[in-house]
Amino acid sequence: MSLTRVQRAAQVACRRMADRKTPFIYNEWYVAALTREVSRELMSRTILDQQVLLFRKEDGTPVALNNRCGHRSFPLSRSTLDGDTVVCGYHGLRYNEKGECVEVPSQCNCSGISIRSYPVHQQGPVIWIWMGEAEQADLEKIPAMPMLEEGWVTSEDYMDLKCSYVYLHENLLDLTHLSFLHANTFGTPDYARANFDTDISEDRFLLKRYVVPTRLPPVWAKPTGLEDKDAARITTSDFVSPALHIVHAEFYDISLDESERPDQRIKTAHIPTPATADRTHYFVVHGRNFALEEDEVTDFMHQQLMAAFQEDVVGLQAVSEMIEEYGDSDDYYEISVKADAASVAMRRYLKRRAEAELAEREATAGMKNTPTQLTPV
């Protein structure tokens, strides 16, 4: 099928952007689990195409190991936790929290046998994991979640998203979809047409949208007391890292002078952790700086937000199914519009990072690495 000039240009532009086939970026901290999910029960979770075993030591410290027994690949998540060691359910090899084998029941010597362990770090409601080069696992590189450090009230949740993490990041940088995908929850018709600014740098991508004046949807109107008032809704989408996006929003009554406005802000951390090319662990940590003592406000906002985010899960899955079906065809293209400026820059960044990392891995492994393996950027 022949393409129009605009479609052809879009097709060429797409090749510079990350998509479901772009390799994963390993040298980043990702969230492996919510703090409350990891216990003395062995659990496995696929992260960046690797099965990871998660559990807590007796003193509560979280541990992450490769879920595959080094002997004959039995899943350690179907094995036994004995004190701080895992005993494989097949032939009984025993591993400590560093992944070192400390017992082979059929022989007296087990030195040198080990499986991979991953650095982990618990931060409030989430547990971060480092899937990349162990020597680069610096706690200083864990991206900040300010709502956890400022005494705000927070709640957290998890969703299983059947779509590449790339498209979740894109969704979050383009909130024009609030007027349509979220028309029945927290979107308003004026959202898509509102003025916006972008701030694009080498590795950080922000889009600020000014919906003023507007009427707030119930999730924000009720707890802020701004029902039936002409209000401002100013939202910043902030791509912090491949593992974290934070949406900041402030709300106020536009009839009040700046000095009279109560400080009413929310920050929602959207935390995509790639499971596979087409599946993402979607963690959410939501925080607010008002109505701090009111548990019913927490419950109300949490329930309303999760209902809205579920619309993203359903919408992105539909997008993913389309891309899976048509993404490899010769006439596939994605046309970008002005509102996509930040997300296009972000997707180019993800692709550059992923390809640079891949080239480094291949060089380290001594594999042949010709320039033709890389897509020009």
Task: List residues binding ligand FES (CB under 6 A).
Answer: 69, 71-72, 74, 88, 90-93
3-state per-residue secondary structure call for the chain:
CCCCHHHHHHHHHHCCCCCCCCCCCCCCEEEEEEHHHCCCCCEEEEECCEEEEEEECCCCCEEEEECECCCCCCEHHHCEEECCEEECCCCCCEECCCCEEEEECCECCCCCCECCEECEEEECCEEEEECCCHHHCCHHHCCCCHHHCCCCEEEEEEEEECCCHHHHHHHHHCHHHHHCCCCCCCCCCCCCCCEEEEEECCCCEEEEEEEEEECCCHHHHHHHCCCCCCEEEEEEEEEEECCEEEEEEEEEECCCCHHHCCCCEEEEEEEEEEEECCEEEEEEEEEECCCCCCHHHHHHHHHHHHHHHHHHHHHHHHHHHHHHHHCCCCCCCCCCCHHHHHHHHHHHHHHHHHHHHHHHHHHHCCCCCCHHHCCCC
312 binds Fe ion (CB under 5 A): yes
Which residue lies nearer to ligand FES by CB, 30 or 95? Answer: 95
Least Å distance between CB 69 and ligand FES?
3
Determine whether 361 is exposed, middle or buried from the number of CB atoms within 10 Å of its CB (0-12, 13-18, 19+): middle
Pick one of Fe ion, ligand FES, none as the site partner of residue 226 (Cβ within 5 to 8 A by kind).
none
Which residue lies nearer to Fe ion by CB, 79 or 235? Answer: 235
Which residue lies nearer to Fe ion by CB, 170 or 312? Answer: 312
Which residue lies nearer to ligand FES by CB, 42 or 69? Answer: 69
Which residue lies nearer to ligand FES by CB, 91 or 193? Answer: 91
Which residue lies nearer to Fe ion by CB, 19 or 312? Answer: 312
Which residue lies nearer to ligand FES by CB, 71 or 229? Answer: 71
Pick one of ligand FES, Fe ion, none as the site partner of residue 90 (Cβ within 5 to 8 A by kind).
ligand FES
Pick one of Fe ion, ligand FES, none as the site partner of residue 93 (Cβ within 5 to 8 A by kind).
ligand FES
Pick one of Fe ion, ligand FES, none as the site partner of residue 312 (Cβ within 5 to 8 A by kind).
Fe ion
The span of 64-72, 256-264, 309-317, 363-371 binding Fe ion (CB under 5 A) equals: 309-317
The rounded distance, in Å, linking the Cα atoms of 271 and 243 is 6
Least Å distance between CB 75 and ligand FES?
9
Pick one of ligand FES, Fe ion, none as the site partner of residue 193 (Cβ within 5 to 8 A by kind).
none
Determine whether 184 is exposed, middle or buried from the number of CB atoms within 10 Å of its CB (0-12, 13-18, 19+): exposed
Least Å distance between CB 109 and ligand FES?
15
Which residue lies nearer to Fe ion by CB, 312 or 340? Answer: 312
Least Å distance between CB 113 and ligand FES?
10
Least Å distance between CB 40 and ligand FES?
20
19 binds Fe ion (CB under 5 A): no
Least Å distance between CB 348 and Fe ion?
22
Least Å distance between CB 74 and ligand FES?
4
Least Å distance between CB 105 and ligand FES?
9
Q: In what order do the strands lie in the sheet with 117-118?
A: 43-47, 50-56, 62-66, 117-118
170 binds Fe ion (CB under 5 A): no
Pick one of Fe ion, ligand FES, none as the site partner of residue 69 (Cβ within 5 to 8 A by kind).
ligand FES
Q: Which residues bind Fe ion (CB under 5 A)?
A: 312
